[in-house]
Structure 1
């Protein structure tokens, strides 16, 4: 399930990369994005797993104190396809100066409202990362987004352009495997764990494909970690990449 509604389908009228139907699909979910039992319940369960990986990657990249409560203090962070801010708010609590971008204005409104209620100073912008004048950031994240992108090279090039020298990028996405087709698209959408129409399995990206796409964008991909599920552990980081995975990337 995507946090985002940023896409890579080129629009000749201005070079935008937003796929309108994706923006409409996720914008319709904005009202209950923060409801842990609502349409975005899966993201609420996924977020702690992603944050565990993110914290480990931050400490390794910048060599910080693993016990420090704000390892991103003094650093800027950009979350592309931020939805209603499920990742932006933890990044702000980790000390970053955070910008969130999403194609759906409804999501940005929900994100800004929730941040205000949480007393967090986060800059939210509705629009297309490829056309916005954003500058560069120390940390660039885009979680569960690239599978909703038609022109993946253009999308990753836009992300790479937002990454400051010495910066860190973190991406997560479903893998394109038989298991993901059966469970993430078939079973999860059938039982309502993920809203119907969220995923197109043909748009999923394998780790090998992503490594090549990142290389074309001038980035080197780290070793992926799987996000797996078991009845005993729930969602957890794993060596099993079959369902979903999360990776770091740096300038080559």
Structure 2
């Protein structure tokens, strides 16, 4: 079994595992971004699988994989919407944190300490794969995305977010977040591993998926909140792609 896991990247997140559910801790930026991420994810899933988000348990019958699940910030909302959720993480210390919080929240989520490649090798299949802020931390993005494609059923939906690579992203995601605001420990991100939207689309296509949408996550320092943008993909952005039937 091959793996795209980068041990040095995993060590960074192992060190922060206990803080996943602290909105003012090291994952504060992710807590702030999460409502915007969820807005995009739920709308894409609802559109693709013809679900009405105004109904209870709108995602009943859908099997969703959350890769790099961390403490469960995305897995739990998917479970509340009725999906059968599997959350996986290559950082072992994240799993008991996620399991404990899910139990406290009365949610049944299948959390596993494993990798996307291992699950693909085992023949696991999902209606949707959430691949959020992971691809910039792996050793081989192309092999990793190919593994994600293999995990999807024909017609399945892949949602992938990451950080653009340009001077602005260096200023905002590294200098701003790690050194000025100190939202993240120094060294959390490696600018050279950031991926431009066109590069990611190319990687996704080579993995055997068809890109269908991309949008930017834009932070407003005045309202101190995030929003989706059709045009501004200069720092954080998200893509949706489909596996051919």
- TM bracket (short chain): over 0.9
**CA distance in 2 between partners of 1:124 and 1:135 (Å):** 14
**Residue of 223, 227, 230 corresponding to 1:236:** 227
Structure 2 SS opposite 1:125: strand
* 2:215 paired with 1:217: no
**CA distance in 2 between partners of 1:112 and 1:57 (Å):** 26
**Residue of 26, 48, 69 corresponding to 1:39:** 26
After superposition, give the CA deviation of every residue in 1:92-131 in whole Å (9 maximum; x if it has no partner). Answer: 0111000011011100111011111111100011022212
After superposition, give the CA deviation of every residue in 1:59-114 in whole Å (9 maximum; x if it has no partner). Answer: 21112224223221111000111111111001101110000110111001110111
**Residue of 125, 131, 148 corresponding to 2:112:** 125
Length, aligned pairs only: 239
Query: Please, which runs of 5 or more residues in structure 2 have no aligned partner?
Result: none
Report what 1:3 is aligned to.
Answer: none
TM-score normalised by the chain length of structure 1: 0.91
Report what 2:59 is aligned to.
Answer: 72
TM-score normalised by the chain length of structure 2: 0.94
Structure 2 SS opposite 1:164: strand
After superposition, give the CA deviation of every residue in 1:176-230 in whole Å (9 maximum; x if it has no partner). Answer: 1211111111111003112211100110111100111011111011221100111
Q: Cα RMSD (Å) of the superposition?
A: 1.2
Report what 2:184 is aligned to.
Answer: 194
**CA distance in 2 between partners of 1:178 and 1:140 (Å):** 30
Q: Which runs of 4+ in 1 moved over 3 A?
A: none
**Residue of 100, 116, 128 corresponding to 1:139:** 128
* 2:80 paired with 1:90: no
Checking the alignment, whether the CA contact within 8 Å between 2:5 and 2:139 is kept in structure 1 is: no
**CA distance in 1 between partners of 2:192 and 2:7 (Å):** 19
**CA distance in 2 between partners of 1:137 and 1:82 (Å):** 15
Report what 2:169 is aligned to.
Answer: 180
After superposition, give the CA deviation of every residue in 1:32-76 in whole Å (9 maximum; x if it has no partner). Answer: 110000000111011100000112111211122242232211110
**CA distance in 2 between partners of 1:232 and 1:187 (Å):** 16
Checking the alignment, whether the CA contact within 8 Å between 1:150 and 1:203 is kept in structure 2 is: no
Structure 2 SS opposite 1:224: strand
Report what 1:5 is aligned to.
Answer: none
Deviation at 1:134, TM superposition (A): 5.6
Report what 1:30 is aligned to.
Answer: 17
**CA distance in 2 between partners of 1:231 and 1:31 (Å):** 28
Structure 1 SS opposite 2:118: coil
